[in-house]
């Protein structure tokens, strides 16, 4: 619902993914491609309309994924793959954050303003796992006065699984379906052939078209500066019963967070800096052929850890650190050791990201993929001027952290394959923590990003076309699908 007390701040932004992996053109004939395209386009339009009508990011993201869960083309909900035991075990997750933190502004009291995330695991008969994740996210078990509610809510748990969770779903009135409703010929065929041939979940099969390719997800930015990421999956074909993937695991398959940077504009330059920053620029991304994303990640981790973990004791070590290397807390843990703002720094820039991953979930778990991409951006030196697109490519692009995690198994087992989608947004705040008015009163925009290291990634998004017109995009491969 739109609040008349405050005009919108952002133009709604969203992106949807329908899975990524060993997708090849010969396994995606035109009729099947057109089915995927039609579904993704319909869900994109429906969700974008909600955002334009004033829906919050959380509701819009849940709406999009609920539609995907009912479409057996995608590996989630009704289209979920089977375990090695011939059962279905579904997972889903949600995370929210916001660029605006004004508790007195009714327009920001909608769900999705606080950084919180949940994952639900091992679901058998809940029709929409993503809607159960929403209930777990919002039913804290605590009222507005901090007192326990009488209902049996999630009580701020970040992960729940099993039969007790499904009992909660029944108590909360969510819709259930029998096992037969989730059974599809296509997924059963994949399951049986995989068992007979002893193949891994991502092996190719000339007789099968469009093998399941992992998690679906949606990332949304609403008019009020709230971001939400929603994911849902049936997991990997013929996974062991009880396996938990990256989809319900915070930081691995999904992530959302907001942080603040000091912005000194008195000199006419953008003098951004964080409370903690590194002076190192060795991991720059300015096209230097000798720079690498692995070096960047190593330097960022070194900068974060060096204040509390000196590399080696001895003459080269010192207990006196330069200002930019001081730990976040001084000897007195009650007094944060922060860099005081200069008198001319009269505004702050708040930045936020939301990310969803899809592909080989175990690889996403091993490198904590979504959080790693966010941390690259958050803890980099402002001099590097990193964008979320840079960080996503560093993790999920060709040769990135995901691919490197597979080692010699790359291209053989499906390990390391996958992609990330995300949205990045920012806003300048004045000394009273109020949004700074734009020069022409135009709406701010979020930036849609994505990259992948494998054959393809089903994705759909809205972008700004010629003359500022909105343009719908649906793609699978790096370039356009040609029939």
Which residues are catalytic, by number? 215
Q: Is 394 left (phi over 0), alpha (psi -120 to 50) or beta?
A: alpha
Pairwise CA distance, residues 155 & 150, whole Å:
11
In this structure, how many other beta carbons lie within 10 angstroms of the beta carbon of residue 175? Answer: 12
**What is residue 238's DSSP assignment?**
T
HEC assignment per residue over the chain: CCCCCCCCCEECEEEEEEEEECCCHHHCCHHHHHHHHHHHHHHHHHHHHHHHCCCCHHHHHHHHHHHHHCCCCCCCHHHCCCCCCCCCCEEEEEEEEECCCCCCCHHHCCCCCCCEEEEEEEECCECCHHHHHHHHHHCCCECCCCCECCCCCCCCCCEEEHHHHHHHHHHCCCCECCHHHHCCHHHHHHHHHHHHHCCCCCCCCCCCCCCCCCCEEEEEECCCCEEEEEEEECCCCCCCCCCCCCCCCECCCEEEEEEEEEECCCCCCCCCECCCCCCCCCCCCCCCCCCCHHHHHHHHHHHHHCCCCCCCCCCCCCCCCCHHHCCCECCCCCCECCCCCCCCCCEEEEEEEEEEEEECHHHHHHHCHHHHHHHHHHCCCHHHCCCHHHHHHHHHCCCCHHHHHHHHHCCCCCCCCEEEEEEEEEEEECCCCCECCCCCCCCEECEEEEEECCCEEEEEEEEECHHHCEEEEEECCCCCCCC
List the 447-452 sheet strands across, edge first.
Answer: 254-263, 347-359, 418-429, 447-452
C-alpha 36, offset from chain centre = 22
Contact 227, 57 (CB under 8 A): yes
Contact 257, 374 (CB under 8 A): yes
């Amino acid at each position: 619902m739109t609040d008349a007390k405050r005009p919108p701040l952002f133009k709604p932004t969203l992106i949807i993914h329908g899975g990524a992996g060993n997708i090849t053109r010969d396994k995606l004939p035109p009729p099947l491609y057109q089915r995927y395209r039609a579904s993704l386009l319909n869900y994109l339009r429906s969700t974008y309309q909600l955002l334009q009508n004033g829906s919050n990011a959380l509701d819009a993201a849940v709406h999009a994924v609920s539609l995907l869960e009912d479409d057996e083309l995608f590996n989630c909900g009704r289209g979920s793959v089977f375990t090695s035991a011939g059962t279905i075990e579904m997972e889903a997750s949600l995370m929210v954050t916001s660029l605006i933190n004004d508790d007195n502004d009714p327009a920001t009291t909608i769900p999705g303003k606080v950084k919180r995330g949940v994952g639900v695991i091992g679901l058998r008969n809940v029709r929409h796992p993503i809607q159960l994740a929403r209930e777990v996210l919002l039913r804290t078990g605590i009222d507005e006065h901090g007192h326990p509610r009488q209902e049996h809510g999630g009580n701020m748990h970040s992960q729940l699984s099993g039969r007790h969770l499904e009992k909660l779903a029944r108590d909360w009135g969510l819709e259930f379906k029998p096992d037969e409703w989730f059974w599809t010929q296509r997924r059963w065929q994949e399951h049986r052939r995989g068992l007979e041939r002893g193949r891994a979940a991502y092996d190719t099969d000339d007789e099968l078209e469009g093998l399941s390719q992992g998690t679906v997800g949606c990332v949304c930015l609403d008019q009020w500066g709230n971001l939400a990421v929603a994911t849902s999956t049936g997991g990997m074909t013929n996974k062991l019963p009880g396996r938990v993937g990256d989809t319900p695991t915070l930081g691995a398959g999904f992530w959302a967070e907001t942080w603040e940077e000091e912005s000194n504009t008195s000199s006419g330059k953008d003098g951004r800096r964080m409370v903690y920053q590194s002076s190192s620029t060795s991991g720059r991304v300015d096209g230097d052929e000798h720079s690498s994303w692995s070096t960047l990640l190593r330097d960022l981790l070194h900068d974060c850890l060096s204040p509390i973990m000196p590399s080696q004791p001895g003459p080269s070590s010192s207990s006196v650190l330069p200002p930019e290397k001081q730990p976040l807390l001084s000897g007195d843990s009650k007094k944060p050791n922060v860099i005081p703002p200069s008198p001319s720094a009269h505004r702050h820039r708040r930045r936020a990201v939301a990310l969803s991953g899809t592909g080989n979930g175990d690889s996403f778990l091993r490198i904590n993929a979504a959080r790693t991409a966010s941390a690259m951006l958050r803890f980099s030196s402002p001099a590097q001027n990193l964008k979320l697109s840079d960080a996503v490519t560093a993790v999920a692009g060709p040769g990135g952290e995901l691919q490197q995690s597979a080692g010699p198994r790359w291209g053989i087992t499906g390990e390391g394959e996958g992609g990330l989608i995300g949205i990045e947004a920012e806003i300048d705040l004045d000394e009273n923590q109020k949004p700074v008015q734009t020069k022409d009163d135009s709406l701010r925009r979020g930036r849609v990003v994505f990259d992948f290291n494998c054959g393809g990634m089903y994705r759909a998004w809205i972008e700004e076309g010629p003359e500022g017109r909105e343009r719908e995009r649906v793609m699978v491969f790096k370039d356009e699908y040609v029939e």
